[in-house]
């Protein structure tokens, strides 16, 4: 999606859960690439496979078909050293800042651990300085926050800790799975600004997964829309949002809360929800380019 070589890519990856009649394609022929200094947003249906894509990147699942490429090289049969490098290069930030931090440990402990693992050479005071730097980076006051326990912080502060922890190992890629859905509007904007700054200052590549398409536009240059395991439309953010071509993308965008439209005057797409759902779930192998950086997988006609 840009001229530079991608840092990380999925190439025609499929992931199937279950067997026979109950088999679910959580990923069907999924391809995308992450680039340094850019954010790619992943939006779509609940249960379409967004978290599965994140888990494939985190190597919690291995693909049933297809490949994961890191800096151009397939990771499948990589040696132990390459895998270790990969693990510290790719970090994840989760949706729930409550359950991803251990209530029994201080903030200092949460940040000390990754530093010990990835920079074992640091002395105690160097490590403390590194923690202070990380906290400052996520706009928290180290002196106040370091000795605190997670329950003594607000949701937004906790999410900043999760981000600081991810940054502790100097990653190249951050996967954020609904990092702000538990936070309210004013706090949410602070976290989104923080992600934007990280991208610009540290040259990180970001995958931002969300149900909130307006926040996706706030942080990402490119967007992918997922339905039933398939990426049905992708490309430059404003091209996709202003000129959506796949029926599911249109349905999704027509349902985004809009204070200018009362519920009583629902759009035409909403009358066809079931038809669109049925057809968008069928395999859509063909790819069609609709603009310079804008693609869809056209839906097959009914009955084929």
Partner 1 sequence: MTNPVLSVRNLVIDYIGAETDFHAVKGVSFDIQPGELFGLAGESGCGKSTIAFAVSRLHRPPALIRKGSEILVDGRDVLTLDDDALRAFRWREVAMVFQSAMNSLNPVLTIEEQFYDVLRTHTQTTREAARARAAELLKLVDISPDRLSAYPHQCSGGMRQRIVIAICLALNPKLLIMDEPTTALDVVVQREILQRIDTLRKQLGFAVLFITHDLSLMVQVSDRIGIMLEGHLVEVNDAQTIYHSPQHDYTKRLWASMPKLHGAQIVREATS
Please identify which residue in 251, 281, 296, 299 interacts with partner 1, judged by CB under 8 A: 251
Interaction partner, residue 49 (partner 1, Mg ion, ligand ATP, none; CB < 5-8 Å by kind): ligand ATP
Q: Which residue, 155 or 298, is less far from Mg ion as judged by CB?
A: 155
C-beta of 193: minimal distance to partner 1 in Å?
A: 6
Burial class (CB in 10 A: 0-12, 13-18, 19+), 127: middle
DSSP 28-78: EEEEEEE-TT-EEEEEE-TTSSHHHHHHHHTTSS--SEEEEEETTEE-TT-
Tell me whether residue 25 or residue 86 sits nearer to partner 1 (CB atom). Answer: 25
Interaction between residue 211 and partner 1 (CB under 8 A): yes
Instruction: Name which position in 208, 218, 234, 295 contacts partner 1 (CB under 8 A).
Output: 218
Q: Find the shortest distance in angstroms from Cβ 14 to partner 1.
A: 22
Question: Least distance in Å: CB of 113 to partner 1?
Answer: 28
Distance in Å, CB of 121 to Mg ion, minimum: 37
Residues whose CB is less than 8 angstroms from the CB of residue 124 and which lie 6 or more positions away in sequence, other chains included: none
> Residue 129 belongs to what H/E stretch?
helix 124-137
187 sits near partner 1 (criterion: CB under 8 A): yes
Which of 39, 48, 51, 215 binds Mg ion (CB under 5 A)? It is 51
Nearer to ligand ATP, 26 or 111 (CB): 26
Q: Is 195 in the site for partner 1 (CB under 8 A)?
A: no
CB 20 → partner 1: shortest distance, Å?
Answer: 17
Task: List, edge to edge, every strand of the sheet that includes 205-209.
Answer: 90-93, 173-177, 205-209, 39-44, 222-227, 230-236, 294-296, 288-291
Candidates 65, 87, 118, 217: give the one binding partner 1 (CB under 8 A): 217
DSSP per-residue string spanning 144-208: HHTT--GGGS-HHHHHHHHHHHHHTT--SEEEEESTTTTS-HHHHHHHHHHHHHHHHHH--EEEE
Tokens read off for 102: 């251990």
Binding site partner of 17, from Mg ion, partner 1, ligand ATP, none, Cβ cut-off 5-8 A by kind: ligand ATP
Distance, CA of 241 to CA of 297 (rounded, Å): 16
Which one among 253, 281, 296, 299 touches partner 1, defined by CB under 8 A?
A: 253
Phi and psi at residue 81, to the nearest 5°: -70, -40
**Is there binding between residue 213 and partner 1 (CB under 8 A)?**
yes
Pick one of Mg ion, ligand ATP, partner 1, none as the site partner of residue 36 (Cβ within 5 to 8 A by kind).
Answer: none
């Amino acid at each position: 999606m840009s001229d530079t070589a991608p840092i990380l890519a999925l190439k025609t990856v499929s992931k199937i859960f279950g067997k026979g009649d109950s088999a679910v394609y959580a990923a069907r022929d999924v391809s995308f690439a992450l680039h340094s200094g850019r954010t790619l947003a992943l939006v779509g249906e609940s249960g379409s496979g967004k978290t599965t894509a994140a888990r494939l990147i985190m190597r919690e699942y291995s693909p049933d078909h297809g490949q994961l490429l890191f800096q151009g090289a397939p990771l499948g049969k990589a040696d132990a050293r390459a895998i270790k490098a990969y693990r510290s290069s790719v970090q994840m930030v989760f949706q729930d800042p409550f359950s991803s931090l251990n209530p029994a440990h201080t903030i200092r402990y949460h940040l000390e651990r990754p530093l010990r693992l990835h920079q074992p050479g640091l002395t105690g005071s160097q490590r403390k300085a590194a923690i202070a730097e990380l906290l400052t980076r996520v706009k928290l006051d180290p002196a106040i926050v370091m000795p605190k326990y997670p329950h003594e912080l607000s949701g937004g502060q906790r999410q900043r800790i999760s981000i600081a922890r991810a940054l502790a190992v100097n990653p190249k890629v951050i996967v954020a799975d609904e990092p702000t859905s538990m936070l309210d509007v004013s706090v949410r904007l602070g976290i989104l600004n923080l992600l934007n700054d990280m991208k610009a200052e540290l040259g990180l590549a970001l995958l931002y997964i969300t149900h909130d398409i307006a926040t996706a536009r706030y942080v990402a240059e490119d967007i992918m829309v997922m339905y039933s395991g398939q990426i049905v439309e992708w490309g430059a953010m404003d091209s996709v949002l202003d000129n959506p071509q796949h029926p599911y993308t249109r349905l999704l965008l027509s349902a985004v809360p809009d204070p200018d439209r009362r519920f009583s005057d629902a759009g035409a797409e909403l009358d066809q929800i079931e038809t669109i759902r049925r057809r968008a779930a069928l395999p859509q192998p063909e790819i069609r380019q609709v603009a310079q950086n804008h693609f869809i997988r056209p839906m097959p006609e009914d009955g084929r």
